Amino acid sequence: MKCFEYNNNSKNNCSKSTCRYWINEKKYHNCCLIASNNENIKNEEKFTLQDIGNMFKVTRMRICQIEKIAIKKLKDRFSNFE
Is the predicted pLDDT of residue 80 greater than 90, yes or no? no
Shared domain check, 29 and 51: no
Q: Which domain holds residue 64?
A: 47-82
Is the predicted pLDDT of residue 75 greater than 90, yes or no? yes
By C-alpha distance, which of 18, 23, 16 is closest to 54? 23
pLDDT of residue 44: 61
- Residue 42: which region, alpha, beta or left (left: phi > 0; alpha: psi -120 to 50)? beta
Shared domain check, 26 and 55: no
Is the predicted pLDDT of residue 2 greater than 70, yes or no? yes
Burial of 1: CB neighbours in 10 Å, binned 0-12, 13-18, 19+: exposed
Is the predicted pLDDT of residue 62 greater than 90, yes or no? yes
Mean of the per-residue pLDDT values of the chain: 82
Question: Which pLDDT tens digit goes with each residue over 16-27?
Answer: 888 888 888 887
Averaged over 30-59, what is the pLDDT?
A: 78
Shared domain check, 36 and 12: yes
